Structure formats: C-alpha cells, structure tokens
Chain A
Amino acid sequence: MTTYAWNVPGYIQGHRFSDDPRYWTTSSGRFRDLAGYDALNNYVQLVAGTPIFETLGANSRRGLKLNQSNIYKFHSSVSWEGSFLIVARAHTGSGSLTLYPWTFGTADPPYVNGTIRLNKSGGLNTFNAATPSALMTSPLGSIANDAIVICAYSFNQADRIARRTRDGVTIDTNGPAAGTNGNHLAIGGNTAPGVVADIGGISHDYVRLGDNFGDGSLTPNTLDWLHVFEQHFWKGDVLLNNASALADFITHLKDYYGV
C-alpha cells in the first residue's frame, strides 16, 4: 500500500504546488493544507505576483516556478522543532550563489531567520536547512541542474541534533555540541537557546516562500530559480522515530515524480 505524507505519524501541514483545483484555488490565491488545518489558516497564500505553473520531470508533474516574481507566505508549524520535506528542482546559472526560497520569519536579511537555502557551489546545487544561528554542515547531497530532488530534514530539541536524508534510509546528522541548554551548532547559538524559526505571533508570524533574495522585489530572475512541487511538515523527529514510514513515503514520491 502506498505511503502518503499523512501516513507518516505527526503530519500537521502540507501543500502540493499544482494548479489542479484539488490543490490550488485561483480566486483566493491559496494552496490548501493537505493536513486539514485550512480553517486555522494553514494554507499557503499568494502575496505578490502571479503563479507560474509548469509541467516538468519524467512523469510530467505540475510544479510552481519560484523565480522571485511570485511570493507566498504560510504559517510555520515547526517553529521550535519538527520535520519537513520538500520536493524541488533547482536551476542555477554560473558562479556561486545562495537563494532563500523558504525563510521562516520576516527579519532581514533572510539568513537571520531559519531557512531552507538553495546553494550553488562548484557547479552543483544543494538544498540545505539552517536555523537562525547555524547552517547544517555537509550539505544534503549535490544535485545537477533541473533534477527533481526530494529532501527531508528534522531539528530535534531533545537530542539537539539536526538530521537530513534523501531516501529515509541514509540519514546524516549534525551535532550536538557540548552543552545542555540548547547551545548547539545545529540548532542554537552559543548562549541563547535555539529555535528552528524565530517566529512570533503578529508581525513575524509566517514563512516567506519564493522571496529568494529576501528583498521582496518581484523582478523575475532569469538566471537562477527553482521549482517546488510539494512540501510537508510533521511534529517531532520523523527522521529519527519514523524513518521507515518516511522512507516509504519518499519511495512513493520517487515513483510519482519519476526520480
């Protein structure tokens, strides 16, 4: 039986970035929450620009092009700790660069928030997760341009370890460092307790999606962009506690996207 996102325990938020009416409502500019919390504003909301949907990959799946021309926001369900998975496809030009497609907060510059970053270095791309104070080392695999990838991450406040995987089987870890009160490379800084996302309840209460350069500009970038297909969030550390179910879900995604 196929394992879907909701079959992995602790599922609390998820979105598929297709213009199929099952997932996207043009009139409201929203991608609905697959976990069912739309009534509590758990959707992804178009903030500026116009969505660009394209069919990509071996199995011709719809994805959303994030080239800075369309920006979204959504409430974070994993501000303190949790797990998340993205299905994305990078396209970067020459040289090295860093984009911040997911910025957990609205502080500037983007890297002072928790982020999922698109790094271009040495001709290869990586999607790497970071807290406001620490970037996960040993980036999660290197990928060529225009390849759909599946990346899952977790931040665990109990053991203060950050985890990441591409298949749910091989799981890399980061940390912990010495100290007992969140003083940790992966999650916190040297003195302050660590968080995944420095998010409050009013003005800083959402994740920015698609504001790759963190400047709110809607000028399309013609050299560097990414496509996003799905994102999912879970409470707790599924990479540690539910790796088998996560692996099954990733297997399904690979079949679905032809990876």
Chain B
Amino acid sequence: MALEIRVSNTLPLISFATRQNAATSGDIEALEAEVALKADKATTISTLGLATGGGDLSADRTITVPKATGSEAVALADNTLAITPYSLSFPLALRDTRLATLEGGISWKTSVRAATIAAGTLASSFENGDVVDDVLLVTGDRILIKDQAAAAENGIYTVNASGAPTRATDADTGSELVMAGVAVRSGSVNGGTQWRQAALAPITLGTTPLTWVKHVDKNQEEAASLDDEDASYLRFANERRARNASLPKALVLILTGQSNNASWNSQISGIVSQDAYMAVGGNARQVSGTFHGSFFTSAVVHTEGFDAETPISGAITTLMGGTFSRMYGITIAVGGTTIDTESAGTIQSDLQAAAYRLCDLARAAGYDPVIAFCNHQGEADMVALNSETDYYNDGRRYYTMLQRVAAMAMERPDYVAPIVFHHPIQMYSGTDGAASRAIHNGIRRLAMDTPNAIYGGPSYHFDSNSDRTHQSSAGFRTRGEHVGYLLRRFMCESVREVPLQIVDVAWSGTTATVLFNHEVMRDTGQDWGQNLSTTKQLAGFEWDDNGTLIQITALTISGRKVVLTLASTPTGTLAQQKLRIAEQTTVSGSFPGSNNRSGSQIRVNETGRAAIYSYGDAKYGTHYRWAIPQLCSVRAAP
C-alpha cells in the first residue's frame, strides 16, 4: 500500500510508496527548502511607474528609479526619468531667466541700424559703403553681427570708414553681453525686430560663442508698440483729467459779439477789484486784423474806468467769490456786425490768442483756468434782415468753435464752456417785425441746442436816454451783473435760470388767457417795457387779428395766468389770431429810439436782485426777469 501525501498535484510532499522506514531529517530539510522555494516563487515584487528591477523572491532583486540629469530635465522630452531637486534646478533656472526677460531683465543696448542676415568677413564686409540687409552702411552706424561662422565674432559693432568694425562701447566686454538685447531700426528682413544674446555667463569675449536669438519679431513689435502706446495714452488722459484739480479756480470770461466794446471811463463807479484782471491789449477786436504778439502777455488788476471794461465790470461783481478765486476778463467784440461777419476773418485766431494766453496767465499765477463766454449779438442781423435758418446755422458753427477753443485752451477735451446768450430787446424795421423775430427765434434755438448754453433773454438794461442800441455805462454794467449772476448760478450752483416766457394762449370771444412759465406780476415802477407807440397795447401785450390790432382794455393776473380783455371780438379765424408781447409796434419803419420802448411790464413775481453798483438811478437798482419778446399762436379755449 502506498501512502502519498501531496501538497499539490505535482509534488508529493511525502511519499511513502517506496519506503518502509520513517523520513530522515535531511528529507525534511529538503522538503522545507522546496516549500520555501515554492513560496518564494509564488511571491513577487512588482515595479510600477519609473521603478525597474522587480520579480519574485526566488532571487535577489534591485529596485531602481532612474533619475534625469539637468539637461534631460530642461529637454522635457523623456517620460521615464524622475526629477530630483538637483535636476529641477536646471529648468527653474531657465524659467527665471525667461521671467527676467519678460520683466525687463534684459540688458538693452542702444538700437542698431541694421542686423546681418548672413555671415561675412569681419575685416571687409561691414565697412562704410557696404550693404547689410539692404541698408547702406555709413561710418558710425551701429550694427548687429549675428551670423558669423565663428560665433565668437558675433556682437554689436560700430562701422568704420574701412576695415573691420569696432565693438560698440556698450557691448565690448563679456559681462555687457550677458542677457544683452538690441532693437534693429532698419532693414528689409530685420528692421523692426529685437534680438537677445543667449550665451550664459561667464562670457569670454572672443572665445565664447555668442548666439543671438530673435526676441521679438516685427509683428510682435507692432502689437507691443500698440500696447505701450495705449498705456501711455491712458496715463496721459488720466493725468490731464486730474491736473490742477487741487488748485484754486480762475474764471476766464470772454465776451464776444456786439455792444461790448464801449469805453465809459468817466461814468463808472469807483469799484476796484483786487481779484479780477483785465488782459492787456486788444480788448476791442479789430475787424481788419487781429491781435499782435504782445497782446495778453500780462493782465492788470481791474480798476475803475479801465479801457473797454464794459459788461465785464458788472460780471466781476456777481461772479467773484464762491467757486472762483480770481477772474480774467476780455472782450473780443466789434459793433455793428452780423454773426457771419463777426465770425469771419481772424476770429478763430483772436479767440485762440485770448483763450490760450489768458489760461497761461492763470496757470502762471497758480490757478486752474475755467473759461466761459457771453455773447451779445443780433442787432446787425436784424437790420440786415437775415433769416432765422442762416443765423442758426452760422451760430452753431460759431459757438461750437468757441467751445472747441475753450477746451483746447484748458486742455480738457471733456469741457463744454458755458455760453450766456444775450440779445437786445428791440425789434427792427419790417412790416411786422419778422426779421427781428427771426433773429430772436434763432438765438432762442441756439440757446436750446448749444450744450451748456444759458439763455439770458433780452437785455432790458437800456436807460431812457439811450437810443437803445448804445447803452450808457450804467446799462453795460447792469447787463454785466446779470451775465455774472447767470454764470454763477450755472457754474457754481448748477442752476440754469430760465427767462420768463409765454407757454400757452387760449382764446374765446373777447377773452384770452395767457399762461407763463413763472408766476408773474405787472410792474409799472420801471420806465422800460413801457410806452409802446401803438395805442392798442397794454403792458406790452398786443392782439393781432389777421393784421389788425384789437385794443386790449384790461388784464388780471393770477399766479402764472394773465387774463386779457379785448375791446371787441376778433373777426378772423383762429389761425389768424396772434398774441405779441414785448415786440415792436407794427408801424413800419419804426426804429428803436427814445420814443419806442419795446418790452413788457410783465415780470416774474419775485423780489429781484439788488444791483451791486450804485448808479443813483432807481431803475438800475434791482434786477428782474422781464418777459421776452414773443409772437404766439392761439388755441381755442375749451
């Protein structure tokens, strides 16, 4: 009988088939060895990733992880090598080099005129008269030689009259060539490129091969230039906007138009302002010429009787203080000219002279200049019977030009200079005042359409002894106060004062209800706005029934409404009914004069502003808002 104990199908552990006797110790050791071997062979060590050398335990095994050298780490090509701190230092160093490059770590040299595109003979290929990259070399040119067969010859050189070029003094040592960079100004191939010397330190000049690599190509330089340009412009724009922001403000007030250039030395009150200056020279613009070079190089303190102080005197009194610590004033005006003539010739030059120079004076005195205009104009255009359209179109160009000159003088592209629009009250000849009305309408439209315009309405400030075209000194002063008040309200208080105007007329039978934009009252205490030559008017109102005036017999006022009573019921159609206020008489050929006082007794029901200057005449004592001249269509009352 055989007894066999098997551990596996292949190897009997103990075989008793042929032995009659028990196993020996040697048999047991052999068996143990076999078991152990079997176990060793059944157990393995696996290697994963970069490791190699695994296997079963039947033999000695060595596990190996291969590591990259520095160059292999920089090459970034092998996926079977491990990075150690030492090998990592090589790509890190390269990264730092590149970052230093981006951060401007390159040692930039003065640009060169040309760069080689092929090797040449150093002794003879780069002389005065030779051509490199289509650039004809001249003595003294800086050039980049980068393509020599003997790379140690490469570098930045200065062209000589003959013979070999000389290494440029900023690139004639090894240390100067470390991380050297240079831009190329000209050349068909290399013009506009930038190059960087790539050999690392230490460099032994004449021995170390110098390699020049293209740092920026032409197209890249274009983009970089634009980025640099954009950044530079942004800085400029921001700096310009913030410039002088902390400085005290000086108002530069420029009066243009007509009736601004009178000199009334002996009639001006003795008011001296230490903070207001009049520009020296040329306060009355010459029609045939312009200001000459000595004008506006200085300004003097405004004093009584200053030549052509005109409305600026009045403006000073109401503008000083508050926002403005100082004022510079000038008039650029000439009488008797239409807006077309006023704006022709050298007006733009005159305005540039005045605006640029006065702003310079303000800055030199430590102020930040701010420009505003007042324009008093219209009489000549009325007399010339110019159309509303022509006046408006000419006016748009003219006033845009004023604001452009102001913005450039102040160096503030976003600045829109305020302009006060002012015009005479009177109407000129015409069968029905149409020409004058056209100019009034043109001025009102310009005041609506011009940015930052302030419609000051007509000037009522004519004394009874004037012919209403040429004001007295007091009238000029009073008008100036009004201008200054309007500008102060707008520029310092952000309030655009609105003149008194009719907004609606409703008619039924012998009753007309007139609605104004402010609460109104009738003021008979002043001597202007009265005594229209027609007998049909009342307080400056006239009712026109198809060309025939119907007398207004009475009026009552309640808040913003004025109710007029007509002497008889008009016979024309609704469309033929017109209400006029503050306009000239319908008598043809009527000119302004002492017997014609266009205007209205209707004014805003308010306290008014006391005049600052004392003229000894009550009519100048207070400023009011009087009704502007209007010709109104009528609607049927409900």
Contacts and interface: CB of A to CB of B under 8 A. Distances in A.
Interface stretch (A35-43, A94-102, A166-174): A35-43
Interface in A1-43: 1-2, 4, 6-7, 10-13, 22, 34-37, 39-42
Contacts of B404: 37, 40-42, 75
Given A40-B407, A79-B349, A199-B348, A235 B398 contact: no
A255 B111 contact: yes
A11 to B, nearest CB: 8
A200 interface: yes
A76 B408 contact: no
Given A37-B404, A39-B413, A201 B397 contact: yes
Interface stretch (A122-130, A185-193, A223-231): A185-193
A37 B400 CA distance: 12
Contacts of B236: 4, 6-7, 11
Nearest to B407: A40
B403 A40 contact: yes
Interface string A176-206: 0000111010011000111111111111110
Interface stretch (B33-41, B60-68, B225-233, B272-280): B225-233
A76 B346 CA distance: 12
B247 to A, nearest CB: 17
B233 A6 contact: yes
Contacts of B192: 59-60, 258
A254 interface: yes
Nearest to B288: A192
Contact of A193 (B292, B401, B403): B292
A59 to B, nearest CB: 5
A200 B228 CA distance: 38
Interface in A119-149: none
A47 interface: no
Contact of B291 (A6, A42, A193): A193
A60 B225 CA distance: 14
Nearest to B295: A157
Contacts, number: 153
Interface stretch (B42-50, B182-190, B418-426, B619-627): B182-190
Nearest to A256: B225
Contacts of A40: 400, 403-404, 407, 413
A58 interface: yes
B345 A80 contact: no
23 contacts: A1-B232, A6-B232, A11-B236, A37-B404, A58-B185, A59-B191, A75-B401, A79-B346, A81-B356, A156-B293, A181-B292, A182-B292, A194-B293, A196-B349, A198-B345, A198-B349, A199-B349, A200-B343, A201-B342, A201-B344, A201-B347, A202-B344, A258-B192
Interface of A: 1-2, 4, 6-7, 10-13, 22, 34-37, 39-42, 58-60, 75-82, 156-160, 180-182, 184, 187-188, 192-205, 235-236, 254-256, 258
